[in-house]
Structures are given as C-alpha cells and as structure tokens.
Chain A
Amino acid sequence: MKPLPLTSDGASAEPRIFHHAKRIDHQYEMSKTAAATSSSPSGDRRYGAVAGDVAGLVHQIRNPLFAILGHVELALRDAEPGSPTEEHMRIIQRTGLEIKDILRGLLHDSQEATTGAQPRRS
C-alpha cells in the first residue's frame, strides 16, 4: 500500500508541527552537546531554553490529544459492543494513550535536562 501524502502539497510538504519538532530536536541536541562540553553558563542557559521549548511543544500537543481521546471516549459509549466500529475506536484510544505516554516521557526528560542544567526553581 502506498503511504498517503501528509499534505495536499505531497511528500515534500510536511505539517508545520514536524518542522517545529525537528528544529527543537536539532537545537536540543546542539545545546546538549554544548552543555556537556562546556561549563559555561551560556551553554547551560541554552540547554534549559531548548528544554523549555520541548515542554511547550508537549503542552501544545496535549490539547488536541485531549480532544481526540475525549471524542473517542464518547464514541465508545455509543458503539455497539463487538462491532468493527468499537474495535476501530479502541485502537484509536490505545494509540492516543501511547502518544500520551510518549509526551509524558518527553516532558520528564526535558524537565530533568532543565533541572540538570539550571538550579531548580524554589
């Protein structure tokens, strides 16, 4: 089966959020290296700022994910038990919960990175 293009512009055009995620991932790796190889405060600050970007991205994704999981929960209430629709809904729900776990892990890592690079807020 051919993969579906992500946007109407074809495979070369990615959704904006992917660009955002790639940029943050790149910055995160760069700043992590800088923080690891330098004890300078600027490296630490940059590392912390990128970790903050990751946290912001996680929170942005959580809102639509919350909406998706909410709609699935309601749809499951109406779905006939054992029907294909119910099975599809359960798969969407499981996948959504997996994404939720991934985001939680990502947030945890970024928070650890921030507290590792900067003094913890009192």
Chain B
Amino acid sequence: VRSRVGAELMRIIVVDDHESVRKILAAILSAYGLEVIAVCANGREAVDIVRDLRPDAVVMDVRMPVLDGIAATRAIKGASPETRVVLLTAYEEDDLRTAALAAGADDFVLKGVSGNELAAVVRRHSPWEADVA
C-alpha cells in the first residue's frame, strides 16, 4: 500500500472499443474524483500503455477486437501486478465472470451500473484504501 501524498488522485486508464462508452466512462470517473490518464480502444493498446504509465487501475470492457479484456487482464497483471483491473461488460454470463476472475481481474461490473456505483467500485481498489479507512 502506497502512502497518500496530498490530494493525489487514483490514476485510471479507460479501455473500451465503443467511442461513446470510452468518453462517458472517462467523464464519469473524472466527475467522481478519479484521474483518467489515458483511454484505449482495445486490450493491446491498454497493455502497452499500462507498461509505460503504471496506472493505479484499469477500467476495461471485456469484448473487444484485437485483444479482449480477459487476455488483456492476464497481460496487465503480468506486466504490472500492482495495477487493479475492473472489468466492465454488457454480458451477464457467469462463465465470463469466472474467466475474468481467473485471469486476475479485481472486480467485474455490469454496464447497467450508475456512474456513482462504478466510481465507488473503482475507488474500493485504491492503493490508499487502507489510509482512507
């Protein structure tokens, strides 16, 4: 657990192949006090950027072209184990949840959640959670 310095915000990367979803995810997370440092359109881009930026968390869609969210989670956890991964999906399938958690995802959220709820889930994985509590 890192120590919190001043008003440092959780640094987030948003990953979704739908532009409208990318934009609203970034807007919502920013509005609820998280810092979105990059947005990506697929898992491959996300893995590359995570290596460079070492974000606190990645909020990522599951079904994407090039590299899907499950495979990307595995790669991200290999490259940056401290980065938390919250997978976001429109699919309510138990198999998908099981695969996501097996790949190392820290949370699995349906796209039906409100922005407030999503931000709360992401914040739960803050590296400063222990300090805040």
Contact = CB atoms under 8 A, between A and B. Distances in A.
Contacts of B28: 70, 73-74
Nearest to A69: B114
A74 B31 CA distance: 8
Contacts of A100: 112
A67 B24 contact: yes
14 contacts: A63-B18, A63-B111, A64-B20, A66-B21, A66-B112, A67-B20, A70-B24, A70-B27, A73-B114, A73-B115, A73-B116, A74-B24, A74-B115, A107-B92
Interface in A78-122: 100, 104, 107, 121
Interface of A: 58-59, 62-64, 66-67, 69-71, 73-74, 77, 100, 104, 107, 121
B70 interface: no
A66 B18 CA distance: 11
Contacts of B92: 107
A93 to B, nearest CB: 10
B72 interface: no
Interface pairs A-B: 3 shortest CB-CB: A70-B24, A62-B90, A67-B20
Interface in B71-120: 90-92, 95, 111-112, 114-116
A13 B112 CA distance: 31
Contacts of B115: 70, 73-74
A67 B61 CA distance: 13
B25 interface: yes
B23 interface: yes
